[in-house]
Amino acid sequence: MLKLSGVAVLSAVLAGCGDEGPGDEDEEEPANGDEDQENGDEEGDNGNGEAIEPGEIELGGETSAWQGVAPDEINGEENPTLTLQEGESYEIMWENLDGVGHNIEIRDDGDEVVDDYETDIIDEEGETQTLEIDEVTDEMAQYVCEPHAGTMVGDIEVA
Closest CA to 67 of 151, 149, 156: 151
Closest CA to 121 of 100, 107, 140, 106: 100
pTM, 2 dp: 0.70
Q: Give the model's pLDDT for residue 14.
A: 37
Closest CA to 101 of 79, 77, 127: 127
**Do residues 96 and 122 make contact, with C-beta atoms less than 8 angstroms apart?**
yes
Please write the tens of the pLDDT for every residue from 56-70.
Answer: 999 999 999 999 999
Phi, then psi, of 105 in degrees rounded to 5: -135, 145
Q: Give the model's pLDDT for residue 142.
A: 98
Q: How far is CA 14 from the centre of its chain?
A: 40
Q: In which residue ranges of the chain is pLDDT below 50?
A: 1-48
- Report, in this order, helix, strand and coil percent for the chain, each rounded to 5: 30, 30, 40
Q: Give the model's pLDDT for residue 50.
A: 78
* Annotated domain spans of the chain: 2-43, 55-158
Architecture of domain 55-158: Sandwich (2.60)
